[in-house]
Amino acid sequence: MRSVEVAEVKGLKKMAANWQRAANGLRAGYRWFTGGQSLRVTGSRGKAGRSPMFYGAVAAAGVVAGYSVVSVAAAEAELHPPKYAWSHKGLLSALDHQSIRRGYLVYKEVCSACHSMQYISFRNLVGVSHTENEARVLAEEVCCCSTLHNQDNIRQNSSDLNECPVGQFSCFMCCPDWGGRVWFL
């Protein structure tokens, strides 16, 4: 056990001696580099021709330049979106029927809560994503009413696809009597 402690102490002494030699070498190198002058804080020129502040500024500029090279190299590693050969990219190409129906379903279930299609009627869906009967069923799901000219009451009119817009408040947009009261309901 004693020999281990002696070896540790010898190792520590050897390490301390190496540090001392390194410090002495740095001091000697600094004296040689500056021409034997001590550290000057001012920027005046002496025998060496340059002050330590100058070399510190050069070292700082080198560090900043090194970090900028690393950041440029990191920026080159960014991922770019892949380019796919979509079916609707050509001049005469189009989306397939099922994807258009899925898009309308997503709008109906998610997007219609905040975004309306007040300028699109259910008749615009006929021949694009739905048949005429399917568009009528969709129009019946939404409160689509119109004012009859020969009667004073408002009745539901799901057979007229031209008057009924697709959207969240389509009932209030169709009915002129309800249009101003939509925000007070």
Q: Is 51 a domain residue?
A: no
Asked if residue 167 is part of any domain, the answer here is yes
Q: Is 111 part of any domain?
A: yes
Question: 136 with 159: CB under 8 angstroms?
Answer: yes
Q: Which three-class secondary structure state does DSSP give residue 79?
A: coil
Instruction: State which H helix or E strand residue 4 sits in.
Output: helix 2-34
Q: What pLDDT score does 149 carry?
A: 42
Annotated binding residue at 115? yes
What pLDDT shows up at residue 41? Answer: 46
Check residue 147 and give its pLDDT: 45
Give the pLDDT of residue 158: 46
Structural domain total, the chain: 1
Q: Is residue 111 annotated as involved in ligand binding?
A: yes
Q: Kindly state whether residue 39 falls inside one of the protein's structural domains.
A: no
pLDDT, mean of each 10-residue run, the chain (185 residues) = 59 69 63 56 52 77 70 68 76 78 87 80 84 84 53 49 59 51 43
Separation of CA 150 from chain center:
57
pLDDT at 13: 73
**Is 88 part of any known ligand binding site?**
no
Q: 126: exposed, middle or buried (C-beta count within 10 Å: 0-12, 13-18, 19+)?
A: middle
Q: Is residue 7 part of a domain?
A: no
| Residue 132 resides in a domain | yes
User: Is residue 151 included in any domain, yes or no?
Assistant: yes
Residue 134 belongs to a domain:
yes
Domain that holds residue 139: 105-184
Cβ count within 10 A of residue 104:
19
Q: Looking at the chain, which runs of residues are DSSP E strands? A: 117-121, 145-147, 154-156, 165-166
pLDDT of residue 183: 44
Give me the pLDDT at residue 166, please. 64
